[in-house]
Amino acid sequence: MHSSAKIFSGTGSQYLAEKIANCYGIPLGRVSISKFSDGEIQPVFQESIRGDVVFLIQSTFAPSDNLLELLLMIDAARRASAYKVIAVIPYYGYARQDRKDKPRVAIGSKLIANMLTAAGADRVITMDLHAPQIQGYFDIPVDHLDSSVIFIPYIEQLKLENLTFAAPDVGSANRIREIASYFNAEMVICDKHRKRANEIASMVVIGDVTDRNVILIDDICDTGGTLAKSAGLLMEKGARSVRAMCTHPVLSGKAYENIGSSVLEELVVCDTIPLRQDIEKIKVLSVADLFAIAIRNAYEQKSITSLFIHAQRKAKEQQ
């Protein structure tokens, strides 16, 4: 029988892993990750993990060292006779490359899934995949957490009237519909057409936002261009205020500048990726408690259904 649960962190997610371990109620496990002079990574567990259920926390945001570090940690744990090795990936990188949308391109998210499985992961716990069907790329169990349960309490305490939820593109419509249904609110869609990645050619709003307090919801905020443009368009169409809530603050390029100069009241993000700078408009909500519960339930082989928005909506209806 496995003896205990142990939580370890890669270098990229140390700040979050410490919070998760604290919420779980155990100290973070000891692992040293050193580099040869040419940059080659070597993780070494500094304590026995034989027979243990090992949780390895690492988001795979850029640089790609974060992904390679996680793969090497999985391999090291497997070779150290861990009972189970569970990869906890708050932000799953390469998720935007989920299909062949043009000739001769890679399906990056499938490749990463293959690599994690080949390295020896028994299970993956992640949050808000860019495309939910990426779960099907794995031949091991995937617990796919939903950030809506973190954003909903925050939205409730705002006590906004005339609330409307907006999808920044057609692909996000299902995600928005769930939250709009929870609040019994209306929803609109900002339909955008891109010339190339990170560059919007045109955008239109489908639906009425006149005198509404609008909340844009998305999984990733990369350059902030879509959010800034959507917010400006919604205000032009008569919105009273526009906020945005995005799970993963990739925030590359001129993102901080774009968000800072936009008409957004605020951008609310999760701490799946660390911010590179603090600006007044960006507020961070932690996923630590949610992941700690998911880790405990995985270790104790309990259901995680209660962590999802549909379970919360059901509980709300029963009150």
The answer on 141 and 53 residing in a single domain is yes
Q: Crossing angle for the helix pair 309-318 and 173-183, nearest 10 degrees? A: 20
16 and 127 fall within a common domain? yes
Three-class DSSP category at 78: helix
Residue 174 has what pLDDT?
82
Q: Does a structural domain hold residue 315?
A: no
**Pick the catalytic residue: 192, 195, 237, 314?**
192
In a domain, 210, yes or no: yes
Does residue 319 form part of some domain? no
Residues 172 and 71 in one domain: no
Angle (nearest 5°) at CA 266 between 282 and 219: 75
124 by Cβ neighbours in 10 Å (0-12 / 13-18 / 19+) ranks as buried
Does 233 lie in the same domain as 174? yes
Instruction: Answer yes or no: do 119 and 19 share one domain.
Output: yes
Residue 1 class from Cβ within 10 Å (0-12 exposed, 13-18 middle, 19+ buried)? exposed
Residue 310 lies in a domain: no
Q: Are 127 and 90 in contact (CB under 8 A)?
A: yes
Residue 316 appears among annotated catalytic residues: no
Whether residue 175 sits in one domain with residue 66: no
Please give the residue range of the domain that contains residue 241.
148-285
- Residues 47, 154, single domain; the answer is no
Note whether 201 and 141 are same-domain residues. no
Residue 101: its pLDDT value, please? 86
In a domain, 309, yes or no: no
Q: Check residue 244 and give its pLDDT.
A: 96
User: What CATH number is associated with residue 245?
Assistant: 3.40.50.2020
The CA distances from residue 250 to 139, 159, 269, in Å, are 28, 28, 10
Q: Which of 4, 65, 59 is closest to 249 using CA atoms? A: 59
Element (DSSP H or E) covering residue 5: strand 5-9
Domain count of the chain? 2
Alpha carbon distance 285, 108 (integer Å):
28
Q: Distances in Å between the alpha carbon of 120 and those of 34, 84, 158, 202?
A: 21, 9, 44, 44
- On whether both 231 and 245 belong to a single domain, the answer is yes
In a domain, 316, yes or no: no
pLDDT at residue 315 in the model: 61
Same domain, 278 and 299: no
The alpha helices in 184-238, defined as continuous H runs, are: 225-236
Per-residue pLDDT of the chain (319 residues; tens, 9 = 90+): 457 999 999 999 999 999 999 999 999 999 999 999 999 999 999 999 999 999 999 999 999 999 999 999 999 999 999 999 999 999 999 999 999 988 999 999 999 999 999 999 999 999 999 988 999 999 999 999 999 999 999 999 999 999 999 988 777 788 889 899 999 999 999 876 655 665 555 678 888 999 999 999 999 999 998 889 889 999 999 999 999 999 999 999 999 999 999 999 999 999 999 999 889 999 999 999 999 999 999 999 999 888 887 666 666 666 6
Query: Does one domain contain both 141 and 11?
Result: yes
Looking at the structure, do residues 9 and 108 belong to the same domain, yes or no? yes
The verdict on residue 318 lying in a domain is no
Does residue 196 fall inside a structural domain?
yes
Cα–Cα distance, 44 to 1 (Å, whole number):
24
